[in-house]
Amino acid sequence: MLAYERMNENAYTQLGLRKFPRRLARDVKKAAAERGITLTEFMVEAASNQLRQPRHSSVSAELKRDFAWFQRRRHALEKKYPAGTTLAIVGEKVVDSDADVWKLSARLRGRYGHRSIFMPRIGERLPSVIHVRSPHIVR
C-alpha cells in the first residue's frame, strides 16, 4: 500500500508502507470511499490527526509510581545499599542493583527488553523528573 505525505503546498513524497495488514488496508480504503475522498487524502488526514494528539504513555505513569515509591522508601534503601549502587525499580520494588550501571542495564535489557525502568543511584541527589520525547526528524 502506498500513501503520500504532503511536504508543502506543491511537494509530495512517496511513502512506502511495508507489511501493512491487508485487512486494515481494506478498511482504510472502504472508509476513504465512504467519505468520498482519495486514499491519499484519508491517510494524510489520519497521520496529521495522530501527530496532533498529545502523547500519553502508561510507561510514564509507571515511572511516576516507581519514582514516588522510591521517594517514600529512600531513607531505608540508602541504609540497605552502599553509596554508588544503582537500583532498578520496576512495579514498586527493587528488582536488581549493581555498582556498574552498564552491567545492570545489560541484565535488565535481557530480562525486560527495551522499556523504561527507573534507575536511581544511591547517595546522589535526585534531579527533577525530566520527560524526554523520542527524537523524530522534522523536514
pLDDT digits (tens, 9 = 90+) for 111-125: 988 888 999 999 877
pLDDT band of residue 10 (cuts 50, 70, 90) is low
What is the separation of C-alpha 138 from the centre of its chain, rounded to a whole number of angstroms? 18
Answer yes or no: are the C-beta atoms of 43 and 13 closer than 8 Å.
no
> How many angstroms separate the CA atoms of 96 and 84, rounded?
14
Q: What is the pLDDT of residues 53-83, one digit of tens each?
A: 776 665 678 888 999 999 999 999 999 999 9
> How many angstroms separate the CA atoms of 96 and 124, rounded?
18
What is the average pLDDT across 28-51?
Answer: 90
pTM for the model stands at 0.51
